[in-house]
Amino acid sequence: MKTAEQNLISIDDLDVVKASEIPFTFDLLGADDKPTGVKFSVYGDQSERVQKFIRDNLNKRRTRAAMAAKKGKDLPVDMIEDDEEFLIKSCVVRLASWEGMKEECTPENAERLFRKYPSARRQVLDQSAEAGNFMPSSRKS
């Protein structure tokens, strides 16, 4: 018989940052929403590596804005291409590995894939954002 103490959880049990460092593996879907035979392993949004990437990029944008304001200049508008570049690099940072591709999983090859197959970006971002994929008590794979 479990005591009330045994039913309690610890703050450490809720450490999604640590859990997000353990890659989650899923099937990459094709345009027909069927598995392609490729498996991606991704880090979670809350992982240190993903958070560092996001912070670094936001800090650069804020620094540019502050420098422009200090000089009395307007900050140039971010172009759509800048946003797309951020999105692609954001996916590269989240991708830990892949299986089922002829090419080796390198940052360069991942960037190439995310440029050629935009649906892969959405899948990586969606799976990385799902905290339940990373928490031990609810991990799907």
Q: Which domain holds residue 48?
A: 16-133
Q: Measuring CA to CA, which residue among 116, 107, 90, 94 is closest to residue 40?
A: 94
Does residue 117 contact residue 101 with C-beta atoms inside 8 Å?
A: no
140 is a domain residue: no
11: in domain = no
Burial of 113 from C-beta contacts in 10 A (0-12 / 13-18 / 19+): buried
Least confident of 60-69, 80-89, 115-124: 60-69
Closest CA to 100 of 40, 12, 50: 40
Does residue 3 carry a pLDDT above 70? Answer: no
Count structural domains, the chain.
1
Instruction: Compute the average pLDDT of residues 12-27.
Output: 94
Q: Look at residue 114 and tell me if it is in a domain.
A: yes
Residue 33 lies in a domain: yes
- Segment among 14-18, 23-27, 62-66, 90-94 with least mean pLDDT: 62-66
The answer to whether position 8 is within a domain reads: no
Cα distance between residue 34 and residue 102, in whole Å: 19
Residue 141 clears pLDDT 80, i.e. is over it: no
9 found inside a domain: no
In a domain, 23, yes or no: yes
**In the prediction, which pLDDT does 65 show?**
80
In a domain, 91, yes or no: yes
